[in-house]
Amino acid sequence: MAPLRKNLRDTIVVAATALIVASFAIPAFNGYVERSRVARAVSDIGTMSLKLHQWQRNGNTLPSRLAEAGLTGVDPWGRPYVYVRAADASRAQLRKDGQLVPINTDFDLYSLGPDGVSALALPAAPSQDDVVRAANGAYIGLAANY
């Protein structure tokens, strides 16, 4: 009986240790996955911005839709990127900074981020996790950091 009790106790100790290690490892892994998704969105937006500028250079205007420039695809969270050409939009339709000034004069290009929810003003809570292009491409990253 004593060896069985010792084996059971050892098994419980090993299981408890594994659970403790997992409780630290899983959140760390999830954080890594989320950071890699943001990095991919930043890269995608940068690449699409370059292609949009090439399109503009060749045709003297930006396309009205991403598909017109041959740009398709989805962000790392499975949603299409949002593109708004400033020439076609009213000031109310453009992304804005904390002073409610549009963050781009040529076009807005962004991902709605992991929650898929956004607001036009970057300081608004729903926009904080968006990956945005701002300052006419000088900044690409999380809205919370702009």
| CA dihedral of residues 33, 72, 42, 122 (deg, nearest 10) | -100
Smallest CA-to-CA distance from 133 within 65, 48, 45 is with 45
| Residue 25, pLDDT score | 58
Flag whether pLDDT at 1 surpasses 60. Answer: no
Q: What is the pTM assigned to this prediction?
A: 0.79
Interval 30-68: pLDDT, tens: 676 789 999 999 999 999 999 999 999 998 899 999 999
Where do the structural domains in the chain lie, given as residue ranges? 2-145
pLDDT band at 12 (very low <50, low <70, confident <90, very high): confident
Pick the CATH number of 2-145 from 3.30.700.10, 3.30.1490.20, 3.90.1200.10, 2.30.30.90: 3.30.700.10
Residues 6+ away with beta carbon under 8 Å from 40: 76
